[in-house]
Amino acid sequence: MRVIAVLLRALALAGVLALATPAWAASVDPALLAPLASTKMDERLDAVAALGRLPDPLAAEVLQALAGGRLYAAGDGRVLIDTGAGAIDPASGQALPMPGDAKRIVINNRLRRAIQDALAVSQLFAAEAGQRLAAARRLQEGANESFRPVLEKALQQESSGEVKAALEVALANIDLSSDDPARRRAAVAALGQTGRSSYRPVLQALLAQDEQGAYAEPDESVREAARAALRAIDRRAAAVEWSGNLFYGLSLGSVLLLAALGLAITFGLMGVINMAHGELLMIGAYATYVVQSAFRAWAPGWLDWYVIAALPVAFVVTALVGMALERTVIRWLYGRPLETLLATWGISLMLMQAVRSLFGAQNVEVGNPSWMSGGLAVFDGGLVLTYNRMAIIVFSLLVVALVWLLLNHTRLGLFVRAITQNRRMADCVGVPTGRVDMLAFGLGAGIAGLAGVALSQLGNVGPDLGRAYLVDSFMVVVLGGVGQLAGTVVAALGLGGINKFLEPYAGAVMAKIAILALIVLFVQKRPQGLFAPRGRSVE
């Protein structure tokens, strides 16, 4: 099977080389199209390879439509491309309406790979640099000697430096099996320079020994180069892992920070641990879902920006809920923090059940907008920094900055700080503690709502969303101490970082347990937390 595939690829190259300048044909031979809808995999693979050989851009379009699920088989055996507003018959190049009995041609991963291979060779000469780069990357793996001519031809014609480097690596991969030890050495060095772990196995294979101790690679200088290359790859891998952990820790820390910030404000202000805090996160997330549904229904063209619109909505909704909570329940329990804990727990149960009744017990779908999907590949693809997490890191810093501004440069913030330091004195001096309590609680709740928006982009949105973050938020608040923003920030980022650096060694669960144990021990040593409020208040 593999031999046939290789031969087919070679034939494909021969075909492309022979027709190096694209000849424009207006149609594709129907005999090549019909097997695409066949039930026999071999026929389909042959047809895909044959279409890849054709220089006709229409053939490439057929292949791309097949990969994208837009190729249909009509009842009469014709194969049609769905253009969204009708169909095109590649056999004639004509446009026509999609017949009612047309069925989508289903492909599987094997066909997808074959299509990518078939497209790769022709795309080496595509107009767009990005496509050429992707094609070159594709050919870096699994290319063999027969690809050399076309790769060298593409290298001569290539203008972009990045694509040139990719092509050189592809050639190096082929050179590994060359007869000339000098070429092999050069190839090994080139592969080692890329630092990519995917070359590890093939370089390792050079150093493999059989039972008599003979190496697979006869030339010692090449073996030396291979060892050096492997060391370079390992160094790179370690750097990639370290950077990866740093990023993951930062993103986890930013999530914790957002989740705990609201709690820190209310706890610092009123000494109240709000057990319904998790549910405020959940309400923020559901508000995002509602906004998304509204956009889907009334403004589908703007769907990508629903997250921005969801921010003020979530803030306002949760702030209102928080203020209502404060007015109805919490203010009667002033000075009794343990009772407040219990009462807010009861509220959380009711909120969860209310959401279940309204939205169903199932999770609801909140999709990432397109600018938050995917990721930035760094280290030559070794590490992907996902956009949604990057956005959340930036967002959390913005929120912290906003809160800092609010606390330090507004009157409300002044009152909040005064009450946090000494409630009675602030009362005596004329600060309207009742109103400030309500507004500050609303603020804390609103921030929880914003955090909910962020959380909705990361994971599930369901009635249980809040529970997952409750204990973590408490830990951040307890660790960071009360009254200082810096405490929450440091605690959150620190916990996120430690968790992610422990995880590769101990696993996710043990890392979590270790962190909880650390916090419990830390609190024994320093009960007020990292950044303790200064003052002479006793208890």
Partner 1 sequence: MNGASVTDLAALARRPLFSPRAWAGLAAACVALALLPGLNLVFEPGHPLHVSSYAVALLGKFMCYALAALALDLVWGYAGILSLGHGLFFALGGYAHGMYLMRAIGRDGVYQSDLPDFMVFLNWKAYPWYWAFTEHFWYAALLAVLVPGLLAFVFGYFAFRSRITGVYFSIITQALTFAAMLLFFRNDTGFGGNNGFTDFRRILGFPITAPGTRAALYWCTLAALAGCLVLARAVTQSRLGRVLTAVRDAEARVRFLGYEPLGFKLFVWTLSAVMCGVAGALYVPQVGIINPSEMSPENSIEMVIWVATGGRGTLVGPIVGAGAVNGLKTWFTSVLPELWLYVLGLIFVLVTLLLPQGIVGLVRQACERIGRRRGAGAGQ
Partner 2 sequence: MNRRLVLKQLTAATVLACAGWMPQVASAQDTIKVGILHSLSGTMAISETSLKDVALMTIEEINANGGVLGKKLEPVVVDPASNWPLFAERARQLLSQDKVAVVFGCWTSVSRKSVLPVFKELNGLLFYPVQYEGEELERNVFYTGAAPNQQAIPAVEYLMSEEGGGARRFVLLGTDYVYPRTTNKILRAFLNAKGIKDSDIEEIYTPFGHSDYQTIVANIKKFAAGGRTAVVSTINGDSNVPFYKELGNAGLKATDVPVVAFSVGEEELRGIDTAPLVGHLAAWNYFQSIDNPVNEAFISKWKAYAKAKNLPNSDTVVTNDPMEATYIGIHMWKQAVEKAGTVDVDKVIEAMGGQTFQAPSGFTVKMDETNHHLHKPVYIGEIRDDGQFDVVWKTEGPIRAQPWSPFIPGNEGKQNL
Residues that bind partner 1 (CB under 8 A): 271, 273, 275, 329, 332-333, 337-343, 345-354, 357, 467, 470-471, 474-475, 478, 509-510, 512-513, 516-517, 519-521, 523-525, 527, 538-539
| Least gap, CB of 506 to partner 1 (angstroms) | 11
Q: What residues between 329 and 388 interact with partner 2 by CB under 8 A? A: 353, 356, 359-365, 367-368, 373-375, 377, 383-384, 386-388
Q: CB 350 → partner 1: shortest distance, Å?
A: 4
Residues in 19-58 at the binding interface with partner 2, rule: CB under 8 A: 41
- The amino acid occupying position 183 is R
Q: How far is the CB of 394 from partner 2 (least distance, A)?
A: 16
Alpha helix ranges (H) inside 422-464? 423-429, 433-458
Encoding tokens for residue 64?
């791309």
Per-residue x/- marks for partner 2, 212-251, CB under 8 A? -------------------------x---x--xx--x--x
Cα dist. 155→17, 151, 188, 457 in Å? 14, 6, 19, 42
Count other C-beta atoms under 10 Å from residue 338's C-beta.
9
**Contact set for partner 2, span 107-126 (CB under 8 A):** 108-110, 112-113, 116
Measured from the CB atom, is 130 or 374 closer to partner 2? 374
Nearest CA to 392 out of 457, 334, 447, 337 is that of 457
Q: Name the nearest CA neighbour of 297 among 289, 284, 314.
A: 289
**Which of 9, 196 has the CB closer to partner 2?**
196
Q: What residues between 158 and 197 interact with partner 2 by CB under 8 A? A: 196-197
Q: Quick one: what does residue 271 bind among partner 1, partner 2, none, with the CB cut-off 5 to 8 Å set by partner type?
A: partner 1
The sign of the torsion formed by the CA atoms of 466, 471, 472, 476 equals positive
Contact 337, 345 (CB under 8 A): no
The DSSP bridge pattern shows strands 383-386 and 71-73 to be unpaired
DSSP H or E segment with residue 80: strand 79-82
Q: Nearer Cβ to partner 2, position 30 or 375?
A: 375
Number of residues engaging partner 2 in binding (CB under 8 A): 56
Distance, CA of 396 to CA of 255 (rounded, Å)? 8
201 binds, among partner 1, partner 2, none (CB under 5 to 8 A by kind): partner 2
Residues 55-94 that bind partner 2 (CB under 8 A): 69
Provide the angle, in degrees to the nearest 10, between the axes of the packed helices 465-480 and 277-298.
130
Rounded CA-CA distance 473/255 in Å is 10
146 binds, among partner 2, partner 1, none (CB under 5 to 8 A by kind): none
> Considering CB distances under 5 to 8 angstroms, the limit depending on partner class, which of partner 1, partner 2, none binds residue 4?
none
Q: Can you tell me which of 458, 514, 519, 523 binds partner 2, judged by CB under 8 A?
A: 458
Stretch that binds partner 2, among 173-181, 407-415, 500-508, 525-533 (CB under 8 A): 500-508
Q: Give the C-alpha distances (Å, rounded to integers) separating 79 from 33, 49, 58, 97, 310.
A: 6, 17, 13, 13, 44
Nearer to partner 2, 94 or 197 (CB): 197
3-state secondary structure at position 438: helix
Q: Which of 74, 407 has the CB closer to partner 2? A: 74
- Please say which residue, 176 or 495, places its beta carbon nearer to partner 1: 495
341 binds, among partner 2, partner 1, none (CB under 5 to 8 A by kind): partner 1
Q: Distance of CA 416 to CAs 3, 112, 275, 443, Å?
A: 75, 60, 21, 11
Q: Least Å distance between CB 496 and partner 2?
A: 10
Closer residue to partner 1 (CB): 382 or 444: 444
Which residues, other chains included, contact 162 with Cβ-Cβ below 8 Å and sequence gap of 6+?
Answer: 129, 133
Answer yes or no whether residue 471 interacts with partner 2 by CB under 8 A: no
Q: Decide which of partner 2, partner 1, none touches 500; Cβ closer than 5 to 8 Å per partner kind.
A: partner 2
Distance CA 339, CA 490 (A): 30
- Please tell me the distance from the alpha carbon of residue 113 to that of residue 509, in angstroms, as a whole number: 37
Q: Of partner 2, partner 1, none, which one sits near residue 423, judging by CB under 5 to 8 A according to partner kind?
A: none
* Closest residue by Cα to residue 269 from 483, 19, 86, 12: 483
Residues that bind partner 2 (CB under 8 A): 1, 41, 69, 106, 108-110, 112-113, 116, 196-198, 200-201, 237, 241, 244-245, 248, 251-252, 353, 356, 359-365, 367-368, 373-375, 377, 383-384, 386-389, 458-462, 464, 468, 500, 503-504, 507-509
